[in-house]
Structure 1
């Protein structure tokens, strides 16, 4: 078992981050595994050029090896070392959204990144995170950092350092703790088809609507989100992800019908002695009677729901909840990513009433 160090930087001013992060950056350069916060979730970082280091990510997470990794960089100057020439549309998206929660799949320069990062593909997803600690760590490390979410594969992504430790204590070299993450859901992943098409591979912190504003002349395709993937081109496309230990069912329909259905299911499960949970919006929260009822916030503020989702799924585990039902949201804006994560957390157990 590895000793997992924790560097707490939440209370530090920006100018003191460097000295505190120096040891973590050195471990990254030397093949270590370091979890760190981004504006989305906590990532598990390793030097993307080293197959030894990247292989440790797959081992620590129990992650399938055909699932590609996203590479995080500190600035756009690093891009030329990692990728081949790319369309002007990619540059326009970078201008609009970097630093930020947008991953762009670009043609990978041969023999630079570990083949474990690309899962055998000729492309690689890259982003610049919009988080002071992530950027400081990446600058200090001086290397491209492959960083999937810092959780055991299939589990809810971590939005706090303690979530990382719940899954990976003793399996990784360290965690940089800078408090709660912001968005709470992973980055949007896009690939470019020709010069004027953006294909969304994974919805996330950058919405479809924001992409349309940034690239008004481009066609935006999200049909690939429904396609079964034999060789996933992006994280989050093939496998069940984000799941609590209890069985989760996502319920869709008119609010009154959804509420009535969940009531019946909770009563039935409780009569069988099962511990029950409900994930609901504030507008209907008080009407549910389960062992654990958790709020996503107001359905008029889906950014709050996105921020709370993974912590709520982990809270059901802490309460040993066996059966969970979740209300659904609109799929406008960040709601598309929220519903995507809920469906995957439910293993696509979706009931329409």
Structure 2
């Protein structure tokens, strides 16, 4: 496991891009807990995360983005009122489940759904990661299924001594709860 201590350095940003382009997995602080992330278009990287978490692929995963523009391709096909409803929650700790009208997100991320869960983060480090990557990232809590999510770097290392290619140092946000999840088409709160 490599530790990047400062994404402001050219080396750290280059290393992050190499890991994400090379089918790697990163661990990083989010709004409430440490997360695992990867390139959503890398089946190998997503499979690695699913294996680490012992999570079945059919459940699907969340994407996190730096801005609405990073996920515009998912929002543009939606009716105006649905798109505006989703955008009204961002940036912030709300994950919106939106229809993937043109099946642009791979099945290994969507799972058995024709929707995708997406959040535009307000956390500066998460935004920076997505901007450096140039894309939204898979984002899931850093813990094996059934265990408490990691809230400290030592817990990340204890849970996953192997399998994480890059651990990005930083501080958690001020949230104590995971993001709220809303089905943006129906308005139903799922979590």
* TM-score for both structures, normalised by structure 2: 0.89
| Cα displacement string for residues 199-246 of structure 1 (whole angstroms, at most 9, x for unaligned residues) | 0001xxxxxxxxxxxxxxxxxxxxxxxxxxxxxxxxxxxxxxxxxxxx
Asked whether 1:88 is paired with 2:81, we answer yes
1:167 has 2:164 as partner: no
In the TM superposition, structure 1's runs of 4+ consecutive aligned residues that sit over 4 Å from their partners are none
Q: CA deviation at 1:109?
A: 4.1
Query: Once the two structures are superposed, what CA deviation does each residue of 1:132-179 show, in whole Å capped at 9, x if it has no partner?
Result: 111111101112211111111211011222221111121211211103
- Compare relative contact order (CA 8 Å, sep 6+) and give the higher one, 1 or 2: 2
Shift of 1:26: 2.5
The answer to whether 1:58 aligns with 2:55 is no
Aligned-pair RMSD on alpha carbons? 2.0
Equivalent position of 1:201 in the other structure: 190
2:5 equivalent in structure 1: 8
Verify the 8 A CA contact 1:101 1:129 in the aligned structure 2. Answer: yes
Q: How many residues align?
A: 190
Could you say if the C-alpha distance between residues 6 and 23 of structure 1 is closer, same or farther in structure 2, counting changes exceeding 3 Å? same
Structure 1: which 5+ runs fail to align? 203-353
Conserved? CA contact 2:59–2:112, under 8 Å: no
Counterpart-to-counterpart distance in 1, 2:10 and 2:36: 19
SS at match of 2:56: coil
Task: Select the structure of larger CA radius of gyration.
Answer: 1
TM-score using structure 1 length: 0.50
Which residue of structure 2 lines up, in the alignment, with residue 125 of structure 1?
Answer: 117
Tell me the distance in 2 between the aligned counterparts of 1:166 and 1:179.
18
For residues 18 and 108 of structure 1, the distance between their equivalents in structure 2, rounded to whole angstroms, comes to 35
Give me the whole-angstrom Cα distance separating, in 1, the residues matched to 2:172 and 2:103: 36
